[in-house]
Structure formats: structure tokens, C-alpha cells
Amino acid sequence: MTADTISTILVSGIVLGSVYALMASGLSLVWTTLGIFNFAHGALMTLGAYMAWTISDAAGLDLWLAAGIAIAVAAVIGVGILMERLLIRPFYDRRDILLITVMTTLAAMIFLEKGMQLAWGARLKQLRPIVPGNVNLLGTTISAQEALIVVLAPVLLGLLWFFLRNSRIGRGIRAVGQNPAAAKLIGIDVSGLFIVTFALSAGLAALTGILLGSVRLVTPTFGAEPLVKALIIVIFGGLGSLGGTIAAAYLIGLLEAALIFFIGIYWAPSMIFVLLIAILLIRPQGLLGKVER
Amino acid sequence: MKPKAHALELRELRAGYDAYDVLQGISLHVGAGERVGLFGPNGHGKTTLLNAISKIIVPRSGSVSFMGEALESLSARRIVERGLIHVPQANQLFPDMEIMETLELAAFTERARRDRNANLDYVLGLFPRLAERRRQQCKTLSGGERQMLSIGVGLMCAPRMLMLDEPTLGLSPKLKQELASAIGEISKRGIPLLLIEQDISFVLSLVDRMYFVDHGEIAREIDRGSDVDHEEIMDMYFGGHAAP
């Protein structure tokens, strides 16, 4: 294996890992706090990309790019909050909330995908890159936009980590995830923080979509593949640990890059599943997850 | 002589789970600065009573007032804001959080945040062991330490009244003694207490008055002054109606 090969695998693995880390952290946050999986997370990502495309393309000015991003993220956060209200909140007191919300969020995913198809059509779209041109990273050339993703992902995840660790609301979110009854008894507004969590997660999904929308082509099912990867990553990283999720995201990104290089793009996704199953047989609690009770 | 404004007053409170009423109409009061005990067999509604007061469950009927204010329309969070603090039984707290983080977080309401530093000093002075282990995660604490942290969390909420649910459950006699003196210390600050306890001698040493809860009702009220002997209490516990 030449140095060139290693560099290619490493760089494309890190690009993939960055995208997955952004996607999976939002999914993981909702899982640890609300105890549900949001299957519409990928559709929220797609919605972010379409919104940003509409706003920035119509304006056609660089100035509008930032505004487009901000408005798109805000709109997706709004949709996320609406989803929490309509599809998750009515079931909080039910024991089978996990299964019910699999159905409701899957329904939301289909609804959003079809809605986006109606609104934006099936024609492929691509966002203008936030930063144009190419960059040389470790001897491999990638687009500057991909480099931006590689740089932004750790920054955003670092901010998220800092927020959860040190801010009053962030600590409250962790408390609500770990023991909602005890959180209530110290005066925390549990359902209020559920909304904040969902909003944060939707915002992360939108940003991922906007960043990726100029690297890949945007279609109504643009978010489906990243969603499946993010699901794998959250389970693989060990349910309930943000650190584990992020580590797993980069690991799976690198693994996928290596598999694509060696066995081709056709079999790589299924091989990831095979490896995941094998690893979960040995470590049922996931990569960094702790054994429950 | 009863004080004029009670800290806490319940009238005919009914509550339960699903179709079953655990509380069959409870009326009781806790005076300003008073320490009141609740005792009685397990499964007869003591914990349910505290849950109904703090709105962990919603009462079916009856009224609760705190410092003269009706609590019916208030949520759990608003009740904490008012300063009526419930320290639940065997509280697991937040497993992955450190002691200091937990204590700081517990001063969550606007009012509690104002007194955060003073209360933190007070809690760490009361339970030096928590100060020694400030970076330790809740899930790694022993039963006694967790109970101390639980009470500490209650104190960080800036209580105007504390309701403690079996603070010494499953602890060694030595630890029980330690907690008893801490609770005595807290009540010296004039904070009214409602204390659930199974250990009669423990509860007698800490309270001014007791209610005996049986089958979801107040079966008896016992003043510390009135001489109730140990045997009589045992009779109440074990369904002593048959006793001569």
C-alpha cells in the first residue's frame, strides 16, 4: 500500500466521519434525553439543504448565503419543534413510547420526503459551496467545502459538548435524560428541555444538510443514507454516550473509506453492517457503551 | 396552641395510581418551623402522599396549601419555585453527573440560584464527605453518600420546607446517627420538616409530632409530649386491633 493510498483513505474517511459525527450527535442527543429514535432526522437534514438552496439561489448574492443558512436552520428547528409537539409529546407517559415514536417519526420522514418532492420536484439540486475551490490535505485533493466540513464538525461538536457540560440548560438536559423524576423535583421544566433538545438536534441536522448539499446532490431522499449510517453509529458507539457516538462516527467513516477503496462502493455499505453485527456479538453494549445495571 | 399560618395544610387529599385510590382522604398540617413525622407500614400511602403534594402524581381531589397558597393549579416546577422541596426515597439522582455538578445544578430555579454559593457552603459544611468526593459520579456513591447528596440537593433548592422520604433507608446505625444529626441541624434553621421514617426511635428523636398512616388514612396523631409507649406503637404497626 502506497503512502498515496493511505492518504486517500484517511482523508476521505475523515470527511465521511465528520458528516456522520454531525448527523449522529443530534440523533444521539435525542436518544439520551428523550429515549426515542428520530427516524425523520435525515428528512430534517434534507429540508435544511432545500431551504438554503431556495433562499440563496433566488437571491444569487453571497451576502444571502449566510442569511439563507440562518433562515434554513431556523425553519428546520421550527419543524423539529412542531414534530416534538405533535408526534412525540402525546406519548411521553406511555410505556411503549419507543415503539410508538418509531411509527410516528417514520411517518414524519415519509411525509416530509413526499412533501419535499412536491415542493422542489425530483430534479437534482446542488447548493453553491460556501467556500469555492480545492484544498490539498495530506497529499490528497478535496474541495474546500469538504475541508470546511472537516474543520467545522469538531468545532460544532466541541461547542455542543461544552454546552452540555457547563451551561445551566445543558446540564439540565443531561439531568432530564438521566432521571426525569429527580429533575422535576429540583424545579427543572422537563418538557421544556425536551423541546430545547429536539430543536438543537434539528438544527444540527439542518446544518449537516446545508454543508453536504454542495458536495452531494440534493434529492428528496438525500438524508436517508446518512440517517442509516447515523443509526448504526449511535448503536455502535454505545447508546447514551455522546463521546462514544462521535468516536464511532469517525471510525465508521474511516472504515467505509477503506472498504470502498478495497472492495468497491457496491459492497462497502453491506460490509459495514456485517462488521457491526460481529462487533455487537462481542460487545453488546457497543464500542464505548457501559454495561447496564 | 397551634400557630396561625401553617407551613403546609392538606384537606381530604385523595390520590392514587390508575383506578386505585391509595390515599383515602388525608388531612394534616405542618406548622411554621414544626417538625412532623409520618410513619406506618409500607405500602400504606406515605410515599404516595409526598408524590401527590409535589405533583409527581396529580391528586384526584382535596386541597393542599403551602404558606397559605393553594397548590392545586401549580406544576411540580412551580412548587419547587415556592420552596416546598421533596427529597424522594432512594433517589438515584443523576448517575453520570459529579457531586459538585449535581449540587450546582440543583440550584436551578431563579430563587435558588440567588443563594447558590451560600447554600453550597452550607451543604459541604454539613456533609464534609461530599466535599471530599466532589468530582465523583453519583452512580459510584455508597448508599449513605447518595442519601447525603440527596438531602444536599434538596437544600440547594433553597427550601422553605423539606419533605424527606426515608432518608436512612438501608443505612447502618452509625450512618443513621450521622444523618439524624444533620437533619436536626437543618431543622434548627427553622425549616419545617415532614419526615417519613420506619424507625420509631429515629423519628421520635427528630420530630415534634407524628401521624400514623394506615390504609391511606391518618389513623392517629401523636404528640411527642403525650406518652405513647413503644408497645402501643408496635400494636399499630402490626394491626394491633386484636391486641387487648
Kindly determine whether residue B94 and residue A174, on different chains, have CB atoms separated by under 8 Å.
yes
User: Considering only A188-192, A257-261, B134-138, B202-206, which range has the smallest mean pLDDT?
Assistant: B202-206
Q: Which residue of B has its CA nearest to A172?
A: B105
Does residue B205 fall inside a structural domain?
Answer: yes
| CB-based contact B86 A185, cutoff 8 Å | yes
Which residue segment(s) compose the domain that A64 sits in? 22-227
**B47: its cell numbers:** 410515599
B51 contact A CB<8A: no
Residue-wise pLDDT for B3-60, tens only, equals 457 899 988 888 888 778 888 888 899 998 899 999 888 878 888 899 999 998 888 8
Kindly report the nearest CA distance between residue B82 and chain A, in angstroms: 10
Integer Cα distance of B5 and B8 in angstroms: 9
For residue B243, pLDDT beyond 70? no
Q: How many CB pairs under 8 A join A and B?
A: 60
pLDDT of amino acid A26: 94
Judged by CB atoms closer than 8 Å, whether chains meet at B76 and A175 is answered as no
State the pLDDT at residue A286.
73
Chain B partners within 8 Å of A187 (Cβ): 76-77, 80-81, 108-109, 112, 157
Residues 6 or more apart in contact with residue B186 via CB below 8 angstroms: B126, B151, B155, B162, B193
**Residues B81, A182: C-beta atoms closer than 8 Å:** no
Contact A186 B96 (CB under 8 A): no
What is the C-alpha to C-alpha distance for residues A223 and A226, in angstroms, rounded to an integer?
5
Domain span holding position B64: 1-83+192-244
Domain membership flag for residue B7:
yes
Whether A48 is in a domain gets the answer yes
Confidence of residue B242 (pLDDT cuts 50, 70, 90): very low
Residue B120 in contact with partner chain A when CB distance is under 8 A? no
Q: Which of B93, B99, B140 to mutate to test the interface with A (most CBs of A within 10 A)?
A: B93
Contact A178 B96 (CB under 8 A): yes
**Residue B184 falls inside a structural domain:** no
**Has residue B70 got a pLDDT over 70?**
yes
Q: Is B147 on the interface with A (CB under 8 A)?
A: no
Do residue A171 and residue B106 have CB atoms under 8 angstroms apart? Answer: no
Answer whether A185 sits within 8 Å of B112, measured CB to CB. no
Does A258 map to a domain?
A: no
Q: Is there a contact between A254 and A17 (Cβ–Cβ < 8 Å)?
A: yes
**What is the per-residue pLDDT for B42?**
80
Q: How far is A63 from chain B (nearest CA, A)?
A: 40
Q: Which of B47, B57, B79, B105 to mutate to test the interface with A (most CBs of A within 10 A)?
A: B105
Chain B nearest CA to A282, separation (Å): 25
Query: With bands split at pLDDT 50, 70 and 90, how would you rate the model's confidence at B162?
Result: very high
Structural domain contains residue B60: yes
Domain count, chain B: 1
DSSP A187-242: T--HHHHHHHHHHHHHHHHHHHHHHHTTTS-B-TTTTHHHHHHHHHHHHHT-TT-H
Q: Which residue has the higher pLDDT, A83 or B224?
A: A83
Instruction: Give me the pLDDT at residue B231, please.
Output: 65
Q: Is the minimum CB–CB distance between B18 and chain A shorter than 8 Å?
A: no
Q: What is the CA radius of gyration of chain A?
A: 19
Task: Inform me whether the C-beta atom of residue B56 falls under 8 Å from chain A C-beta atoms.
Answer: yes
Angstrom distances, CA of residue A107 to CA of A29, A43, A104, A118, A219 = 21, 11, 5, 17, 18
Residue pointed to by grid coordinates 432526522 = A41
Distance CA A155, CA A275 (A): 29
B115 interfaces chain A, CB cutoff of 8 Å:
no
Residue A155 confidence (pLDDT): 96
Does residue A192 lie within any of the structural domains? yes
pLDDT score, position B206: 86
Q: Note whether B74 contacts A: Cβ–Cβ < 8 A.
A: no
| Contact of A143 with A7, CB cutoff 8 Å | no
> In this model, does residue B164 exceed pLDDT 90?
yes
Q: What is the pTM of this model?
A: 0.88
B106 pLDDT higher than 70: yes
Q: Give bridge partners of residue B29 from the DSSP assignment.
A: B9
Alpha-carbon span A287 to A239, nearest angstrom: 9
Residue B144 within any structural domain of the chain: no
More confidently predicted of B158 and B221? B158
Q: Tens-digit pLDDT profile for chain A (293 aa)?
A: 687 888 889 999 999 999 999 999 999 999 999 989 999 999 999 999 999 888 876 655 565 677 778 889 999 999 999 999 999 999 988 888 889 999 999 999 999 999 999 999 888 888 888 888 888 888 888 988 899 999 999 999 999 999 999 999 999 999 999 999 999 999 999 999 999 999 999 999 999 999 999 889 999 999 999 999 999 898 888 776 788 899 999 999 999 999 998 888 888 888 888 888 888 888 877 766 655 43
* Residue B172 placed within a domain: no
pLDDT of residue B152: 94
Q: Is the ipTM of this complex over 0.90?
A: no
For residue B97, give the nearest of A178, A181, A187 by CB distance.
A178
Q: What is the pLDDT of residue B102?
A: 95
What percent of chain B has a predicted confidence (pLDDT) above 70? Answer: 90
CB–CB contact A189 B85 (8 Å): no
Question: What does R_g of chain B's alpha carbons equal in angstroms?
Answer: 18
- Structural domains in chain A (count): 1
Residue at A129 is within a domain: yes
Using CB atoms, pick whichever of B77, B91, B104 lies closest to residue A182: B91
CA distance B91 to chain A (A): 7
User: Which sign does the torsion angle of CA B83, B88, B93, B98 carry?
Assistant: positive
User: Does B132 reside within a domain?
Assistant: no
How many Å apart are CA B34 and CA A274, to the nearest integer?
Answer: 65
Q: Which long-range contacts (CB under 8 A, 24 or more apart) does B215-224 make?
A: B215/B24, B215/B44, B215/B45, B216/B21, B216/B22, B216/B23, B216/B24, B216/B25, B216/B26, B216/B44, B216/B45, B216/B48, B217/B24, B217/B25, B217/B26, B218/B26, B218/B27, B218/B28, B219/B40, B221/B28
- Domain membership of residue B152 (yes or no) is no
Q: What is the pLDDT of residue B244?
A: 41
Give residue A122's pLDDT: 80
Q: Quick check: is A265 in a domain? A: no
What pLDDT score does A292 carry? 47
